[in-house]
Structure 1
């Protein structure tokens, strides 16, 4: 755990949730870890349909709070640490998409989706 298998860049002002289905498409996993921004009935159902178990904390606004594995969710900090490493690396060509991909690939093995 901790190495991304798919990485999709979005515009800075765009919600990452717009790429949620594309991120899990074609992969089989035991668990899918994501933050509260991915807590959607439709996305949870899709994760379960693939045979994986969603490890996504429910939003506070949910009337019925869904259970999730709080201990396993703590592993998600590996993803956050990866993004911290990416933003600390020197950048030669401003924040261009290709420069970001170069930095991401230098940190870990990533295949570009889409």
Structure 2
């Protein structure tokens, strides 16, 4: 029987995850992204990229 050793959490991963989660929350504030009005994947991706650029510029 093996005993598992508890490893220390890697905090840099959690920092990056927090940044991504906040970005997704900001994206969802835009109605078109939250409800996904666009029918095509390419149009939806373009909208996400455009809004991400706007968020990044602020």
Q: TM bucket by the smaller chain? A: 0.3 to 0.5
The structure with the largest alpha-carbon Rg is 2
Give TM-score, length-normalised by structure 2. Answer: 0.46
Give TM-score, length-normalised by structure 1. Answer: 0.29
Select the structure with the greater relative contact order (CA < 8 A; seq sep ≥ 6). 1
More helix by share: 2
More strand by share: 1
